[in-house]
Amino acid sequence: MDQLVSGEKYSPYRIFTAERWAEFRADTPLTLTEDEVRRLRSLNDPVDLEEIRRVYLSMSRLLSAHVEASQLLFNQRKVFFNSSGAVKTPFIIGIAGSVAVGKSTTARVLKELLARWPSSPKVDLVTTDGFLYPNEVLRRENLMERKGFPESYDIGALLRFLSAIKAGLRNVRAPLYSHFTYDVLPGEFVTIDRPDILIFEGINVLQTRELPQDGKAVPFVSDFFDFSIYIDAEEELIHQWYVERFMRLRETAFRNPDSFFHRYSQLSADAALAIAEGLWHNINLKNLKENILPTRPRADLILKKGANHLVEEVALRRL
């Protein structure tokens, strides 16, 4: 039984084609320009204004409804607990999926769309990359080849960050990461100060871990989410996108002598392709199969992309 097959009797999801999904945008206004979309999308990601209309405006409208419902419930709980001084906590949206599938573009586009609602909410975006252990630690622990796997993250720091956000604390810091140097930036942070909405993006955000037999509470990152999104595509497509992106970076960012991956720009095209294939099969594919894809059924919304890197199907968890 595959619960993500349209018409599956026992599926907890309602499944729509992208065209049907687009109808749910109703009168949601398009507040982005083509130039803005170009700046927001990642390398090799063809998202354009038409894709914003087809997929993202309906998502924006849906998330607006969820945020409003959450705020209403918060106010009702204040009355229930007779706690007039309670601080409203941010609505947290988790975005998960494989490398090269388009998580970053989705996160950035949603951030801009949500921040332009008529109520002008404050929207922040944090990625899990900053919570990776520094390369020095990963090398010492023999984990450089497992970078991006669950054990390469400082889960304690992740949980402390999200707990502080949900507690409504002010000026919570998240560490920063550089894809240029391929490492956490020592002593550099982004400060999150009580946003209305926080988008939290990363390959590992829906992952769980083994539960203790004694019934003790074990927190997961996703326990702090109010809504979760999984960006999906067939394995062969993600493989293709990963390799294509690697080869394009070889001709662009990798050419900078200060880039961690500069050595790959000095290789022949065939040698670089062999490196990309090796990285995919030995690291990223393993992580996808072992840790990322198994979390897909935990998402509230699943965006399934086709060969053109655009969304073809949307699965929304039933209420």
Q: What torsion, rounded to 10 degrees, do the Cα atoms 180, 181, 182, 185 define?
A: -110
Residue among 306, 229, 232 nearest 4 (CA):
232
> All domains of the chain, ordered by start, with CATH?
13-317 (3.40.50.300)
According to the model, what pLDDT value does residue 156 have? 95
Q: Is a pLDDT exceeding 50 seen at residue 123?
A: yes
pLDDT surpassing 90 at residue 85? no
> What whole-number distance in Å separates Cα of residue 119 and Cα of residue 121?
6
* Predicted pLDDT at 1: 45
Mean pLDDT throughout 15-28? Answer: 96
- Triad 69, 70, 74: Cα angle to 5°: 120
Q: Is 166 exposed, middle or buried (0-12, 13-18, 19+ CB in 10 A)?
A: middle
pTM, to two decimals: 0.95
Average pLDDT rounded to a whole number, residues 88-108: 96
Taking the mean position of all CA atoms in its chain, how far away is CA 120? 22
User: What pLDDT score was predicted for residue 3?
Assistant: 66
Q: What is the pLDDT of residues 232-274, one digit of tens each?
A: 999 999 999 999 999 999 999 999 999 999 999 999 999 999 9
Q: Would you state the pLDDT for residue 248?
A: 94
Contacts of 125 (CB under 8 A, 6+ apart): 107, 108, 111, 198, 199, 201
Share of the chain above pLDDT 70, in %: 98
Across residues 18-36, what is the average pLDDT?
Answer: 96
Band of the pLDDT at 177, cuts 50, 70, 90? Answer: very high
Write the pLDDT tens digit of every residue in 215-237. Answer: 888 899 999 999 999 999 999 99
- 259 SS3 class: coil
Q: Say yes or no to pLDDT of 103 above 90.
A: yes
Residues 123, 195 contacting (CB under 8 angstroms): yes
Q: What is the average per-residue pLDDT within 97-118?
A: 96
262 burial (CB, 10 Å; 0-12 / 13-18 / 19+) is: middle
CB-based contact 127:201 (threshold 8 Å): yes
**How confident is the model over 146-158, as pLDDT tens digits?**
999 999 999 999 9
Question: Which residues, including other chains, have CB under 8 Å from residue 52's CB and lie 6 or more apart?
Answer: 30, 32, 37, 109, 113
